[in-house]
Structure 1
């Protein structure tokens, strides 16, 4: 097999299916590789993705085309992914596989996916642990055969390990004889008037500084320390002597006009601002920006890496994703970060702060590439702690809410978790006032509950709660469209499921799943329930392609005409193995 050829994965599975040898457990070992002392660069990163991240995407896409009826265990084995002991070396380029592990389990209800990171010191113990984690019912026989071949006996501890049930843990690491799982500690950072890392009049570079979040960060630095700011963005921005003319000749709602006014506000707050058009992934452009900034403002004191790509077009389900979509996310958060590392090596900085995302922790439907890019940043932080005297800090932010947000993932149910700009500034002040933590997760809801919820829905596949009466349901929310009743039986089935899922009195055919409160978890619950009735695997991407009742019905009629006809017949005709039906 060629790891970078998607058709090879399909050919393998088709061959196994033809031989009636289709597996119920797959172990992916291509992410195990010896550590090299070569400095990480774009070429090494991309080569690692071929055998890791992209390989998993291709494998999952191929599995999805097999219309899996039974559960499948997918175990991804790696090394140098986690630094759970002081001796272990982290390879950030491998961290992207964790995004695939988390999102595969969310988008494919029949695939249970987990990551196991190991230290390669004893081959047989590695086999014992892998089999004990992934397929305990078959592990004892397989390991005993390996032992007989080597004429060695398993010790009692290994025998006991083989008999444990598969746990719910998604990410596991083995190091020095210990089994580790990731956990998060809740802390309350105090609010102080002084910062441990900021200087009055300090010089700070913000990549992505003209984006929504970048401008909020710039405002905080302007207010708190009257900073000298370098704001970079990829798009060409009018020079300062062109601002007045631009504002006079463009509408109030013009995007560039809004950014100009915000930069002018920074100056009224006491900041000095330099705006530069530069691609953070282009080393020559970024070297020129820093040279100009230091010539104008003096020595650079700190960097905030906030560049990134967001928006509805940036998110794709695994079924539909292509390498070009991943490259779009890697451009700023991976390649841009590698550029920053190079050009900042000789700088005596007070800090480098990376703006990561909570998707690193929670995953999310359609977020595999975005989560992968952010997980690279998180792992990069841990690597820098070992190799660099500059304080590198990573912040995994919950979703930010701005007036011009058009991201479909900012649904009604996620609105409660959104961070307002003033809340973000408050959190940033607290983070920059401490020097204890290298990684801080900002979650506006209980983080462990959100993690548990995603895992429990995946493993237990709960049904949509049935309601004997809609008397306790909520009134129809204020939606951008009027209520239109279902026109046929299929639309009625879908509308009823949504009514029960969201606890709403009426769902019309033009109502959008995400406007009603849909998100990753209840999207999975709905798909799980519906495919049970249909008797076919329905990919989670369907709810994104067809998010309204009538669109989802049309999608089903096109994709599953035979299964749909059978389902609707069972819905309307008395069936022998059911006590009652509808006539």
Structure 2
């Protein structure tokens, strides 16, 4: 499938909003929005960056790097009648780096409002050129990365109703303010919204029609193919597929190389490839090491295809939004995004023009998942990189994959069964790999279970505000710290179709069951000692 943006219901003026908290940009869109809302009778509170939490005439200043300041702000301004928060700070960010810097400020804001204790709060994150809406648009990786966090916040905090609103690269302050004023007054439940030339658009997915033959770009007999993450489960499966299709040389890049133990499964797999008559090179190279990657490519006389499948998915790298900083973010972005940027620069310095470059992304970028903030963001940034290189001499395609069954054995806990329901067999995944190279699109979604019943969307179940659904399971082994006392949350009724096994939360006085799926509980899962995945 491929994403497409279709006209959504116009965000016409709806109910009066009692209070709106605005974190403005420097170009004036926030100020214009504040004027429009005040004229309509809304109380507007402006929050600017500073050195400490301070009340000012008409607003507050906070230290953007301080979770405590964000928490103090949310506690001060949360109301039982609800509040809308509009964050325009990313409008000032220049395109730079791999985008990981956009995550902590947004995550702090979302976590603070999610834990403030109010019955409901809306948060609108405004991005500029974060989505490839129109033909030829090249999304900014940092904006695309941050855009996933409101989706994840909806899944981690029941009391939040979050969305991302993307505006065009050249949209001026008046245009941005007009679109946001309508969005503020008209809660729609749409999680991803874009405005282009005055039109409100929402994202959908349609089957991808091949632009070339049904088998995609053929594997050249005797060709040379590079696979990053080449000694992982998926990388070795792809290597075998390339070998059977006629490849003559495989470069399987990894940080650790082939183990010395002759009986190790990785060594056995590499030996089996060589028995097929393929030359196999297994250089111990970190794909983020620019000098090493350049040297590697310079030593190759030809390069016919590249597959970037490097990833880090160990349980310790997944964390809730309130802890979205540090090593976990770095490891997700290093493997996927920095690795892709390194390949991009290294290929540009050589004469190689591969037939294809496929970046392995994940459906987490469009579906989210509890604790999946940095992983979803990294995959979204990876997809943005593919857009800017798709029309180059070597066409790049980002493939957002569902789970490959070969990886299921590494998933701990009872939620593995839920992931298995949307997993692909090896034959299905490899056939899809061949077909996606024929799609002719910079972004292709490979979803074995379809997307219609899985995309984040609103379901009106609570009076006065939309309810998200469904809530994807978190395929990690994360165990949160024990919870001494519950925070204020509205319990969600158990889902009749939930694959998770419900448990009563001993840390909470409420009787809502805690599960690994769309059911939620009074106590946030990372604070509850009952979670054992």
Q: Same fold (TM over 0.5)?
A: yes
Aligned partners of 1:499 and 1:505 also within 8 Å: no
Secondary structure of the residue that 2:359 maps to in structure 1? strand
- Cα-to-partner distance string for 1:346-394 (whole Å, 9 max, x where unaligned): 33221111000010110011111110000001111112235x2320011
Task: Please show how residues 62-461 of structure 1 align to structure 2 within 5 Å.
Answer: 62-68=112-118, 70-86=119-135, 88-119=137-168, 120-134=170-184, 136=185, 165-187=186-208, 195-238=216-259, 246-247=261-262, 257-292=264-299, 294=300, 298-345=301-348, 346=350, 347-385=352-390, 388-402=392-406, 404-408=409-413, 410-432=415-437, 434-451=438-455, 461=467
- Could you tell me whether the CA contact under 8 Å between 2:273 and 2:280 is conserved in 1? yes
1:6 is aligned to 67
TM-score by length of 1: 0.68
The alpha-carbon distance between structure 1 residues 463 and 445, as it changes in their structure 2 partners (threshold 3 A), is closer
User: In the alignment, is the contact (CA less than 8 A) between 1:105 and 1:112 conserved in 2?
Assistant: yes
The 1:320–1:126 alpha-carbon spacing in structure 2 relative to 1, beyond 3 Å, is closer
CA contact (8 A) 2:193 2:201 kept: yes
Counterpart contact for 1:413–1:519, Cα < 8 Å:
no
**Cα drift, residue 189 of structure 1:** 6.1
- Post-superposition shift, 1:546? 2.6
Runs (5+) with no aligned partner, structure 1:
137-164, 465-496, 511-515, 532-537, 552-583
Is the CA contact 1:132–1:166 (under 8 Å) kept in the aligned structure 2?
Answer: no
Stretches of structure 2 that go unaligned for 5 or more consecutive residues are: 1-48, 50-62, 471-492, 507-512
Q: How many residues are paired up?
A: 438
Q: Is the 8 A contact 1:98 1:115 kept in 2?
A: yes
Q: For the residues of structure 2 that align with 1:455 and 1:22, how far apart are their CA atoms? A: 20
Q: Is the 8 A contact 1:308 1:333 kept in 2?
A: yes
Structure-to-structure mapping, 1:495-534, within 5 angstroms = 519-520=516-517, 522=518, 525-527=519-521, 531=522
Cα offset for 1:400? 1.7
CA contact (8 A) 1:226 1:269 kept: no
Matched, 1:26 2:85: yes
For residues 555-582 of structure 1, give each alpha carbon's deviation from its aligned partner in whole angstroms, at most 9, with x where no partner exists: xxxxxxxxxxxxxxxxxxxxxxxxxxxx
Report how far residue 180 of structure 1 moved: 1.6
* More strand as a share of residues: 2
Assess if the C-alpha contact under 8 Å between 1:90 and 1:382 holds in 2. yes
Residues 9 and 370 of structure 1, relative CA distance in 2, 3 Å threshold: same
Q: Which has the larger radius of gyration?
A: 1
Task: Determine the C-alpha separation between the residues in 2 that align with 1:288 and 1:337.
Answer: 16
CA distance in 2, matches of 1:370, 1:127: 31
Q: What is the DSSP-based 3-state SS (H/G/I as helix, E as strand, rest coil) of the residue aligned with 2:331?
A: helix
Q: Is the 1:393–1:439 contact (alpha carbons within 8 Å) kept by the matching residues of 2?
A: yes
Change (3 A) 1:506 1:63: closer
Distance in 2, matches of 1:173 and 1:378, equals 17
Alpha-carbon distance change, 22 to 8 in structure 1, aligned in 2, over 3 angstroms: farther
Alpha-carbon distance in 2 for matches of 1:99, 1:54: 13
Greater alpha carbon shift after TM alignment, 499-508 vs 208-217: 499-508
- Scaled by the length of structure 2, the TM-score of the pair is 0.74
SS of 2:360's equivalent?
strand
Change over 3 Å in CA distance of 1:217–1:291 after alignment to 2: same
Distance of aligned partners of 1:223 and 1:463 in 2 relative to their CA distance in 1, 3 Å threshold? closer
Which secondary structure does the structure 1 equivalent of 2:382 belong to? helix
State how 1:456-495 maps to structure 2 within 5 Å: 461=467
Aligned mates of 1:341, 1:27 — CA distance in 2: 35
Cα distance, 1:462 vs. partner?
9.3
CA contact (8 A) 2:251 2:280 kept: yes
In the superposition, relative to structure 1, how do residues 501 and 13 fare at CA in structure 2: closer, same or farther (>3 Å)?
A: same
User: Against the structure 1 CA distance between its residues 190 and 233, is the aligned structure 2 distance closer, same or farther, given a 3 Å change threshold?
Assistant: same
User: Is 2:525 aligned against 1:540?
Assistant: yes
- Would the aligned equivalents of 2:306 and 2:357 in 1 still touch at CA under 8 Å? yes
Corresponding residue for residue 482 of structure 1 = none
- Shift, 1:327, TM fit: 0.9
Which whole-Å CA distance do the structure 1 matches of 2:64 and 2:501 have between them?
50
CA distance in 2, matches of 1:441, 1:422: 17
- Per mean C-alpha deviation after superposition, the further-off stretch among 355-364 and 82-91 is 82-91
